[in-house]
Chains A and B, each alone.
Chain A
Amino acid sequence: MADILKQLNEIFVDLLDDESIVLNENTTAEEVEDWDSLNHIHLVVAIEKHFGIRFTSKEIQSWNNIGEMIESINSKN
């Protein structure tokens, strides 16, 4: 879990170009500046590529926080 969170953090920092991002399982989109609907798609694509997985449309739209995103990643590994 912690390892996935660390990797996600790196993807977020890299893609949103913001070194100050520190994610935890309860982090939501509202709390991260620039994590808007468009960047969400970019993040999804980057996460899928990084972990070599494919999310369903329903999964992507159901996440309420980082923890739920991690659960989806875990369920595919």
Chain B
Amino acid sequence: MLFNSLPFFVFFSVFFLLYWFVFNKQLKLQNLLILVASYIFYCFADWRFLALLIGVSLLNYYLGIFIEKTESPKHRRWLLYIGLIQGAGGLILFKYFGFFVASISLALTKLGFNTNLDTLTIIIPLGISFFTFKTISYLFDVDKGKIEASKDWISFFAYISFFPTILSGPIDKAITFLPQLKKERTFDPHIAFDGLRQILWGLFKKIVIADSCARITTQIFENYEGFPASALLLGIFLYTIQMYADFSGYSDMAIGFSRLIGINITKNFDFPFFAQNIAEFWRKWHISLTAWLTEYVFTPLSIAFRDYGKVGITLAIIINFTICGMWHGSKWTFALYGFMHGLYFIPLIISGKLNKKKKIPKHQKLPTFKQAFNMIVTFTIVMLTLILIRAETVTDAFHYFINIFSKSLFTIPYIPSPNTDSILIPTVLLTMVMIIIEWIGRSQNYGIEKLGFKWNKYLRWGMYYVIIISILYYQSKGGDFIYMQF
């Protein structure tokens, strides 16, 4: 049941009516409705793991309460370890175990040993990477006394399984989410309309941009050896756009649907293509994951390594980003992707520019030459590294990368397929439209948040209709969300 599907539209409409018209001002019932709806939504995605989701919620709910009640630091630590073992254990079992077995088997075979270790195929529970990070941060925060353990099981279970975010984030922290479930929510048409506008922009990015890019990038990546270098460069450029439009589009929709029921969800993207260096890029890309890793991985590591100056910071960043890469799944390409991003921080650490933030004032109409140059360099680095996320193996990624640097880079990027040829130019033009709109709205929460507020009312509504028509025009062509596989 994807956000951009008819079943979800029907599901959300029924939920919305019950939430605001039947259970209005009945806080407990509204929270219970969120929980029931979340479980129904999860069952549509993958009913086989509903029991796991409930079990994880139950265990962490009681662990939170016990950690808070326990005075002995040693016993608290043990309770925390149970939660960590469950969280990390679940991830390792479902996401990484098959990969470890296959890697060990391959290594032993290469060393001349005959192994009978079968490669395991384990089905990954949808959303496990997202809800596990929620439970781990919750227990850490209860242990540190940053939040009170939840004693309201409905709210806590609803937090873990919250349907707008369970499959692809943002990874909201309990500290910001749970207090919202304690407050009475009243329907505010301004907030609801803002939510709808954010959903509209998310749909535009997903359906019009990401799905169009996907039709071209699939052709190029699946047959990359037959394409000229210019087409390979175009392929990875469009894949970078696709990745952003797909994931930030999903996040915009998740935030928008939450706004419609009066709940604020953390921001996940802050116009990352306008970042001027790699550190700024990671402050703007998948913010909820990087914030989580910063708090629970980078900070403890950098504290432990603080006596080693720049070497310590470098090490903490490299480990942090390798984990960030591995979070996406059990493939060497993902680990290398994270490791490479860690390495890109080294020039910034050595030059002492890591924490120098370069803000572009919001009234500035165009970037300066230097700002534009920095943005293009950052984008290019991010783009070339994304080959690792798209490619099946490290060898494929390496070949794709090497093939870009050949004489055919200076040819017209011809793609010999009747399907892609006709959509290439519209896709590139629509991408430019998206980038320009996001540049104008870069100081807001999402691209069209305040776009057209100073225009004539009819002109602004005309813009909304153009977006709606373009979504409907492209809708029939379909496409899954990339981040659901992680």
Q: Which residues of A contact B (CB under 8 A)?
A: 34, 36-42, 44-45, 57, 60-62, 64
Name the B residues within 8 Å of A37 (CB-CB): 294-295, 298-299, 302
Chain B residues 384 to 443 lying within 8 A of chain A, measured CB to CB, are none
> Which B residues lie within 8 Å of A41 (CB)?
299, 302-303, 306, 313
Residue of B whose beta carbon sits closest to that of A15: B355
Known contacts A37-B299, A40-B299, A57-B300; A62 and B313 CB within 8 A of each other: no
Q: In the complex, what distance in Å separates the CA atom of A38 from the CA atom of B280? A: 13
B299 to A61, Cβ gap below 8 A?
yes
Looking across the interface, which residue of chain B has its beta carbon closest to that of A38?
A: B355
- In the bound complex, what is the Cα–Cα distance between A45 and B303 (angstroms)? 9
Inter-chain CA distance A37–B320, complex, in Å, is 13
B304 within 8 A of A: yes
B383 within 8 Å of A by Cβ?
no
Complex A-B: 29 CB contacts under 8 Å? A34-B355, A34-B357, A36-B355, A37-B294, A37-B295, A37-B299, A38-B302, A38-B313, A38-B355, A39-B355, A40-B299, A41-B299, A41-B302, A41-B303, A41-B306, A41-B313, A42-B355, A44-B306, A45-B306, A57-B303, A57-B304, A60-B303, A61-B144, A61-B299, A61-B300, A61-B303, A62-B144, A62-B145, A64-B146
**Shortest CB distance A69–B (Å):** 14
Question: Which B residues have a C-beta under 8 Å from some C-beta of A?
Answer: 144-146, 294-295, 298-300, 302-304, 306, 313, 354-355, 357
User: A44: which of B300, B303, B355 is its contact (CB, 8 Å)?
Assistant: B303
Give Cα A34–Cα B306 distance, bound, in whole angstroms. Answer: 19
Once the chains are docked, how many angstroms separate the CA of A13 from the CA of B298?
24
Give Cα A34 to B304, complex, Å.
22
Least CB distance, B378 to chain A, in whole angstroms: 18
A40 to B301, CA, bound (A): 13
Q: How distant is the Cα of A64 from the Cα of B175 in the complex, in angstroms?
A: 13
Q: How far is the CB of A48 from chain B (nearest CB, A)?
A: 8
Query: When A and B form their complex, what is the total count of cross-chain residue pairs whose Cβ atoms lie within 8 Å?
Result: 34
Q: Is the CB of A38 within 8 A of B354?
A: yes
The residue in B298, B299, B357 that gathers the most chain A C-beta atoms within 10 A of its C-beta is B299
Residues of A within 8 A of B303 (CB): 41, 44, 57, 60-61
Instruction: Give chain B residues whose Cβ lies under 8 Å from the Cβ of A57.
Output: 300, 303-304
Closest to A41 in B: B302
Complex CA gap A61/B354 in Å reads 21
Shortest CB–CB separation between residue A27 and chain B, in angstroms?
Answer: 17
Closest Cβ neighbor of A39 among chain B residues: B355
A38 and B295 alpha carbons, distance in the complex (Å): 11
Taking CB atoms, residues of chain A closer than 8 Å to B298 are: 37
B128 → chain A closest CB, angstroms: 26
Please report the C-alpha to C-alpha distance between residue A62 and residue B142 in the assembled complex, in whole angstroms.
Answer: 11
A62 to B144, CA, bound (A): 6
A60 partner residues in chain B, CB cutoff 8 A: 303
Residue in B closest to A57 when the chains form the complex, CB atoms: B303
Which residues of B are found within 8 Å of A42, using beta-carbon distances? 355
A75 to chain B, nearest CB (A): 16
How far in angstroms is the closest Cβ of chain A from B345?
Answer: 10
Known pairs A34-B355, A37-B302; list 16 more (Cβ under 8 Å).
A34-B357, A38-B302, A38-B313, A38-B355, A41-B299, A41-B302, A41-B303, A41-B313, A42-B355, A44-B303, A57-B303, A57-B304, A61-B299, A61-B303, A62-B144, A64-B146
Cα of A14 to Cα of B471 in the assembled complex, Å: 52
Of all chain A residues, the one with the shortest Cβ separation from B304 is A57
Name the residue of chain B whose CB is nearest to the CB of A55.
B303
Q: Whose C-beta in chain A lies nearest to the C-beta of B298? A: A37
Residues of A within 8 A of B304 (CB): 57
Which 9 pairs across A and B sit closest by C-beta, in order of nearness?
A41-B302, A37-B294, A57-B303, A38-B355, A60-B303, A39-B355, A45-B306, A37-B299, A41-B306
Q: Which A residues are CB-close (under 8 A) to B306?
A: 41, 44-45
Which residue of chain A has its CB nearest to the CB of B354?
A38
Residue among A40, A41, A44 facing the most chain B CB atoms (10 A cut-off): A41
A36–B304 alpha-carbon span in the complex (Å): 17
Residues on A with C-beta less than 8 A from B144 are 61-62
**CB proximity of B125 to chain A, nearest CB, Å:** 30
Contacts of B357 in A (CB 8 A): 34
Q: How many Å lie between the Cα of A39 and that of B145 in the bound state?
A: 23
Which of chain B's residues has its CB closest to A33's CB?
Answer: B357
List the B residue with the shortest CB-CB distance to A16.
B355
Tell me the smallest distance from the CB of A40 to a CB of chain B, in Å.
7
Min Cβ gap A46→B in Å is: 11
